[in-house]
Amino acid sequence: MRIVVSKYDSDKRYHPRLPDENVPVKASRNAEQEQTIEYWRNQAKATVEQHVKRTENTNIAKNVIMFLGDGMSIATVALARIHAGGEETPLSFEEFPYIGMAKTYCVDYQVPDSACTATAYLTGVKGNMDTIGVNAQVKVRDCEAGRNRSLHTTSIGQWAIDAGKDSGIVTTTRVTHASPAGIYAHTAYRDWEDDFYVKEDGCDPELVDDIAEQLVYGETAPKLRVILGGGRREFMDKDIHEDYETGKGGYRSDGRHLINEWLRNGPVGENRTFVWKRSDLLAVDPHRTDRLLGMFEPGHCAYNLDKVDNNLDEEPTLSEMVDKATDILSTNPNGFFLFVEGGRIDHGHHDNQARYAIDETVEFAKAIELARNKFSEEDTLIVVTSDHSHSVSFAGYPNRGNDVFGTAGNGRDGVPYMTISYANGPGYKKHIDADAGARLDVRQMDRSKSNFAFPAMLPKDSETHGGEDVAVYASGPWSHLFVGSYEQNVLPHMMAYASCIGNGLKACKP
**Catalytic (active-site) positions:** 114
Q: Which amino acid is at 288?
A: R
DSSP labels, 289-344:
-SEEEEE-SSSSPPPHHHHHHTT-TTS--HHHHHHHHHHHHTTSTT-EEEEEEETH
Q: Is 465 one of the annotated binding-site residues?
A: yes
| Residue 91 to residue 108: CA distance in whole angstroms | 34
In Å, what is the CA distance from 156 to each residue of 58, 133, 224, 386, 495?
Answer: 20, 11, 12, 17, 8
| Residue 359 to residue 391: CA distance in whole angstroms | 18
3-state secondary structure of 371: helix
DSSP labels, 142-188:
-HHHHH-GGGB---HHHHHHHTT-EEEEEEEEETTSHHHHTTT--BS
| Residue 248 to residue 237: CA distance in whole angstroms | 10
| Residue 185 to residue 208: CA distance in whole angstroms | 12
| Residue 409 to residue 397: CA distance in whole angstroms | 7
Per DSSP, 26 falls in state P
Q: Which amino acid is at 203?
A: C
Identify whether the C-beta of residue 482 lies closer than 8 Å to the C-beta of residue 93: no
In Å, what is the CA distance from 458 to each residue of 99, 245, 347, 352?
Answer: 34, 39, 18, 12
E strand or H helix that includes residue 463: none
Q: Which residues contact 25 (CB under 8 A, 6 or more apart)?
A: 399, 400, 401
| Residue 352 to residue 82: CA distance in whole angstroms | 19
| Residue 325 to residue 333: CA distance in whole angstroms | 15
Per DSSP (E only), the strands in 449-508 are 456-459, 465-466, 470-475, 484-487
Identify whether the C-beta of residue 34 lies closer than 8 Å to the C-beta of residue 28: yes
In Å, what is the CA distance from 492 to each residue of 129, 170, 467, 505?
Answer: 19, 17, 21, 11
Q: Is 346 one of the annotated binding-site residues?
A: yes
Q: Is 431 one of the annotated binding-site residues?
A: no
Q: Is 287 one of the annotated binding-site residues?
A: no
Q: Is 387 one of the annotated binding-site residues?
A: yes
| Residue 197 to residue 216: CA distance in whole angstroms | 18
Q: Which residues contact 423 (CB under 8 A, 6 or more apart)?
A: 391, 393, 456, 457, 458, 463, 464
In Å, what is the CA distance from 261 to each residue of 256, 332, 336?
Answer: 8, 25, 26
Known binding residues for Mg(2+) are 70, 177, 179, 341
Known binding residues for Zn(2+) are 70, 346, 350, 387-388, 465
Known binding residues are 70, 177, 179, 341, 346, 350, 387-388, 465
